[in-house]
Structure 1
Amino acid sequence: MNWDQVEGKWDQLKGKVKEKWGELTDDDLTQIKGKRDQLAGKIQERYGYTKERAEDELKAWESNNRW
Protein backbone atom coordinates (compact mmCIF):
# COMPACT_ATOMS: atom_id res chain seq x y z
CA MET A 1 0.00 0.00 0.00
CA ASN A 2 1.30 3.41 -0.94
CA TRP A 3 0.75 5.70 2.03
CA ASP A 4 1.23 8.78 -0.13
CA GLN A 5 -1.96 7.73 -1.90
CA VAL A 6 -3.66 7.03 1.42
CA GLU A 7 -2.82 10.52 2.65
CA GLY A 8 -4.21 11.99 -0.57
CA LYS A 9 -7.46 10.01 -0.26
CA TRP A 10 -7.72 10.15 3.51
CA ASP A 11 -11.18 11.73 3.61
CA GLN A 12 -12.48 8.88 1.45
CA LEU A 13 -10.70 6.19 3.46
CA LYS A 14 -11.67 7.32 6.94
CA GLY A 15 -14.86 5.25 6.71
CA LYS A 16 -12.91 2.06 6.02
CA VAL A 17 -10.62 2.79 8.95
CA LYS A 18 -13.64 3.45 11.19
CA GLU A 19 -15.21 0.13 10.10
CA LYS A 20 -12.11 -1.73 11.27
CA TRP A 21 -11.30 0.32 14.36
CA GLY A 22 -14.60 1.74 15.57
CA GLU A 23 -13.15 3.07 18.80
CA LEU A 24 -11.22 5.71 16.89
CA THR A 25 -13.10 8.98 17.04
CA ASP A 26 -13.75 11.37 14.19
CA ASP A 27 -11.32 13.76 15.90
CA ASP A 28 -8.67 11.01 15.95
CA LEU A 29 -9.14 10.43 12.24
CA THR A 30 -8.98 14.15 11.49
CA GLN A 31 -5.73 14.49 13.45
CA ILE A 32 -4.14 11.43 11.81
CA LYS A 33 -4.55 12.90 8.28
CA GLY A 34 -3.51 9.61 6.69
CA LYS A 35 -0.18 9.33 8.50
CA ARG A 36 0.57 5.65 9.04
CA ASP A 37 2.62 6.07 12.20
CA GLN A 38 -0.08 8.23 13.78
CA LEU A 39 -2.75 5.68 12.87
CA ALA A 40 -0.72 2.89 14.47
CA GLY A 41 -0.23 5.01 17.59
CA LYS A 42 -3.95 5.78 17.91
CA ILE A 43 -4.84 2.11 17.46
CA GLN A 44 -2.35 1.26 20.20
CA GLU A 45 -3.72 3.97 22.48
CA ARG A 46 -7.46 3.33 21.99
CA TYR A 47 -7.28 -0.45 22.18
CA GLY A 48 -4.49 -0.83 24.73
CA TYR A 49 -2.44 -2.88 22.29
CA THR A 50 1.28 -3.31 22.31
CA LYS A 51 3.11 -1.51 19.52
CA GLU A 52 3.71 -4.86 17.82
CA ARG A 53 0.04 -5.84 17.89
CA ALA A 54 -1.05 -2.47 16.52
CA GLU A 55 1.49 -2.83 13.71
CA ASP A 56 0.35 -6.40 12.99
CA GLU A 57 -3.29 -5.32 12.74
CA LEU A 58 -2.40 -2.40 10.51
CA LYS A 59 -0.34 -4.64 8.22
CA ALA A 60 -3.23 -7.11 7.96
CA TRP A 61 -5.62 -4.26 7.14
CA GLU A 62 -3.22 -2.94 4.50
CA SER A 63 -2.98 -6.30 2.77
CA ASN A 64 -6.77 -6.64 2.71
CA ASN A 65 -7.32 -3.14 1.30
CA ARG A 66 -5.50 -2.51 -1.94
CA TRP A 67 -5.96 0.80 -3.74
Structure 2
Amino acid sequence: MNWDQIKGQWKQYTGKAREKWGELTDDDLERAAGSRDQLVGVVQERYGIAREEAEKQVDSWSRELG
Protein backbone atom coordinates (compact mmCIF):
# COMPACT_ATOMS: atom_id res chain seq x y z
CA MET A 1 0.00 0.00 0.00
CA ASN A 2 1.34 3.42 -0.81
CA TRP A 3 1.88 6.12 1.77
CA ASP A 4 -0.73 8.48 0.33
CA GLN A 5 -3.35 5.83 1.05
CA ILE A 6 -1.95 5.15 4.51
CA LYS A 7 -1.84 8.85 5.36
CA GLY A 8 -5.40 9.35 4.15
CA GLN A 9 -6.68 6.51 6.34
CA TRP A 10 -4.21 6.86 9.21
CA LYS A 11 -6.84 6.59 11.95
CA GLN A 12 -7.82 3.14 10.66
CA TYR A 13 -4.22 1.96 10.48
CA THR A 14 -3.14 3.05 13.95
CA GLY A 15 -4.56 -0.18 15.40
CA LYS A 16 -2.52 -2.25 12.98
CA ALA A 17 0.56 -0.19 13.81
CA ARG A 18 -0.05 -0.82 17.50
CA GLU A 19 -0.32 -4.58 16.80
CA LYS A 20 3.06 -4.47 15.05
CA TRP A 21 4.77 -2.15 17.53
CA GLY A 22 3.08 -2.63 20.90
CA GLU A 23 5.31 -0.11 22.65
CA LEU A 24 4.06 2.83 20.58
CA THR A 25 1.81 5.20 22.47
CA ASP A 26 -1.15 7.18 21.19
CA ASP A 27 1.10 10.24 21.21
CA ASP A 28 3.69 8.40 19.10
CA LEU A 29 1.08 7.43 16.54
CA GLU A 30 -0.43 10.90 16.54
CA ARG A 31 3.03 12.40 15.99
CA ALA A 32 3.63 10.06 13.05
CA ALA A 33 0.31 11.17 11.48
CA GLY A 34 0.66 8.79 8.55
CA SER A 35 4.09 10.06 7.51
CA ARG A 36 6.55 7.27 6.69
CA ASP A 37 9.55 9.27 7.88
CA GLN A 38 7.84 10.24 11.13
CA LEU A 39 6.79 6.64 11.78
CA VAL A 40 10.32 5.43 11.09
CA GLY A 41 11.64 7.98 13.60
CA VAL A 42 9.11 6.99 16.25
CA VAL A 43 9.84 3.27 15.84
CA GLN A 44 13.58 3.94 15.91
CA GLU A 45 13.29 6.04 19.05
CA ARG A 46 10.87 3.77 20.94
CA TYR A 47 12.74 0.53 20.19
CA GLY A 48 16.30 1.87 20.22
CA ILE A 49 17.13 0.42 16.82
CA ALA A 50 19.09 1.73 13.84
CA ARG A 51 17.23 3.88 11.34
CA GLU A 52 17.86 1.31 8.60
CA GLU A 53 16.19 -1.42 10.68
CA ALA A 54 13.24 0.85 11.49
CA GLU A 55 12.85 1.62 7.78
CA LYS A 56 12.82 -2.11 6.96
CA GLN A 57 10.14 -2.75 9.58
CA VAL A 58 7.95 0.15 8.44
CA ASP A 59 8.28 -0.81 4.76
CA SER A 60 7.43 -4.43 5.54
CA TRP A 61 4.40 -3.31 7.57
CA SER A 62 3.13 -1.06 4.76
CA ARG A 63 3.40 -3.95 2.26
CA GLU A 64 1.43 -6.21 4.62
CA LEU A 65 -1.42 -3.65 4.66
CA GLY A 66 -1.88 -3.95 0.91
Q: Name structure 1 gaps, 5 residues minimum.
A: none
The alignment's TM-score, normalised by the length of structure 2, stands at 0.92
Aligned to 2:46: 46
- How high is the sequence identity, in percent, across the aligned residues? 55
Q: Name the structure, 1 or 2, with higher relative contact order (CA <8 Å, separation 6+).
A: 2
* Structure 1 residue ranges (4+ consecutive) displaced by more than 6 angstroms after TM superposition: none
Q: TM-score, normalised by structure 1?
A: 0.91
Distance, in Å, in 2 between the alignment partners of 1:46 and 1:65 is 22
Distance (whole Å) between structure 1 residues aligned to residue 19 and residue 51 of structure 2: 21
Q: Alpha-carbon deviation of 1:24?
A: 0.7
Equivalent residue for 1:61?
61
Match of 2:12, as an amino acid? Q
Q: Spell out the pairing of 1:1-67 with structure 2 (5 A cutoff).
A: 1-66=1-66
RMSD in angstroms over aligned alpha carbons? 0.8
Uncovered stretches (5+) of structure 2, i.e. residues with no partner = none
